[in-house]
Amino acid sequence: MIEKLLIANRGEIACRIVRTAQRMGIATVAVYSDADAQAPHVRMADESVHLGPPAARESYLLGDKIIAAARQTGADAIHPGYGFLSENAGFARACREAGVVFVGPSPEAIEAMGLKDRAKALMEEAGVPVTPGYHGDNQDPAFLKETADGIGYPVLIKAVAGGGGKGMRKVEDGANFLDALESCKREAASSFGEERVLLEKFIANPRHIEVQVFGDSRGRVVHFFERDCSLQRRHQKVLEEAPAPGMTPGVRAAMCSAAVRAARAVDYVGAGTIEFIVDGSGPLTEDGFFFMEMNTRLQVEHPVTEEVTGYDLVELQLRVAAGGSVPEQDAISLSGHAVEARLYAEDPATGFLPSTGPLHRLDLPQPGSGVRVDSGVEEGGEVSIHYDPMIAKLIAHGETRAEAIDRLVDAIDEDVRVYPVRTNAGFLRRALDSDGFRSGAVTTHFIEAHLDALAPEGVSTLHYAMAALAYLDGGPMTPPANDPWASRDGFRVNAPAYLAVAFDREGERIEVRLTPDGAGFLAEVGDDSVRLDMPRISLLREFGHVAALVDSEEVVAEAETVEDGLLVSLRGESVLMKPFNAEAAAEGLDGEAAVKAPMPGKVLSINVEVGQSVTKGETLCVLEAMKMEQSLAAPRDGVVGEIRVSSGDQVGAGDVLVALTEDEEAAA
């Protein structure tokens, strides 16, 4: 058995591995960068070794330093987690040469499945169905375009070394193919150091279903059934569940058998995932799925499989790495349903850009709530600009799919509060509770097709209404003592015809009009309104909550005075409500709009010139941040008054890139 394990990772997956290893009696060693010196995974481990500066290429990607740390501490095994070096065949080979157990497959298996073009050819030989396309060596742009024309549009261009949605472009017609190819290769070279691509026929209504496989050194391979990961945004998984909705025994048998054949084709040892693209235009069929790729590591979404099978996959990884066996296939069965939501520090209002910074407030579901939480950050810590901005994975299990979804929705409503970092919690809640997801009729295009409903702009009318209630019960905007609304006893039926409460949202005056209506009132914000029955503002004094019935459902918001306003947390979203200040708003009107870098990055291109007229939404420049290209658009109509950067410049978060004016003569 392994005696001491070094975890070559950070964040929630490092914490996850430490917990299982310690439960098994295995001593643990953490590694960390300067940015993670006080991180939870470092404190949880029995020992820790410093690697270097925050940048991953100077710390977590230094395989030689990690192996040296294993030797220094006497660790006899290294678990790579996911990401970083987990699918690096060179690192796996270096571990073997150093006499350290690599908790994962052989370097030969990683190499065989690491490049999508070679993997597809191997799968064809093994009798695993693959998507129609081209995965050959000829990378001449003219040849690739001619091949794409022959496949038929739309097609996908995919980096052969890609993953996580990077190095992937959908092309609708031949006119845009060469531009998309150039962009795809540039991003692939930046992200993976390999610009070669393959082509795939685009499946119009695709579902993403994957099978968890496990092999041991005795040549046995088993599966742990399937997961559905179809709810994605920009090819990044958002919600995952097991088992897949609409799965039939026949399709499950065909898909899981194909996955086992795929793993056996490379003599696979350890945990792996065979990903299939599935035709979701109708019911699942035994000939309607195609091999997409194999992830030769533990997946982010592995907890849903653990919840429905009862197996600890990390424990099984460690036992197999030490020479143990996988269980018999008949010993693995499904029980109930599990759903996982990835809680990220990202702002849906800014196109889901990462929202980094300190975590002054971090509330997550607690043990016993019926929801499992895998997290690697804590209140008082921060979300770093250097790494993936995941805060936690929230996993709910129930006897039925509906019960699991309800449990996860309730957990977000009641237990998730994060401030001042912005999160996607509200977006996750709306996705979980949407008719489309609840019905199981979800393809990988679902979020794109319903983005306006899932990520609406601005603050919800319900947030404003609950904030107005809270202010009326002692917040910063409490009305004068002679105002009939000044009572601390709750809603007054003898109130004036209406009461207007004004908030400041980025210099704009937002008025909430409250009109008595029976046992409650109608809250109006512009053209939108929400009816709240039986409001209970008296709860604020004792519990810090305000409550009301909305469409017969009790809605509870937490209200807390912070800074110069009120922090209102409702359905996973925490919003700072500030009282409107007319003088301050007037001072902020300078006739100019600045396009700023939303996060640190590199300027790839400037698309406009000084003096050029632009319209709202027009792309002004392109920024590369966290290895993803971000197009920055004009916030309003105007004239380019100043360009403060050039292509190739490194910029920081908040740096002004392009400034707009109203007047061409003012352009400098």
Catalytic residues: 297
> What's the helix, strand, coil split of the chain in %, to 5?
30, 35, 35
CA atoms within 13 A on the CB side of 644: 14
* Residue 216: exposure state from Cβ atoms within 10 A (0-12, 13-18, ≥19): buried
* Helix or strand holding residue 67 (H, E): helix 63-73
Nearest one of 62, 59, 14 to 40, comparing CA atoms: 14
Using N-to-C axis directions, what is the helix angle for 313-321 and 11-23, rounded to 10°? 70
Coil, helix or strand at residue 222: strand
DSSP state of 489: S
Q: Provide the strand spans (E) within 34-184.
A: 47-52, 77-79, 101-102, 133-134, 155-163, 166-171
Return the structure tokens found at 83: 């990401």
* Helix or strand holding residue 414 (H, E): helix 401-415
Please state, in angstroms and rounded to a whole number, the distance separating the CA atoms of residues 516 and 434. 31
Please state, in angstroms and rounded to a whole number, the distance separating the CA atoms of residues 529 and 573. 19
Amino acid at 565: G
Given a contact cutoff of 8 angstroms between Cβ atoms, the answer to whether 664 and 633 are in contact is: no
3-state per-residue secondary structure call for 72-84: HHCCCEEECCCCC
Return the structure tokens found at 362: 């971090």
Coil, helix or strand at residue 69: helix
Return the structure tokens found at 91: 């690192």
Please state, in angstroms and rounded to a whole number, the distance separating the CA atoms of residues 194 and 624. 18
Buried b vs exposed e over 434-452: b needs ≥16 C-beta within 10 Å?
Answer: bebbbeeebbbebbeebee
Buried b vs exposed e over 551-589: b needs ≥16 C-beta within 10 Å?
Answer: eeeebbbbbbeeeebbbbbbbbbbbbbbebeeeeeeeee
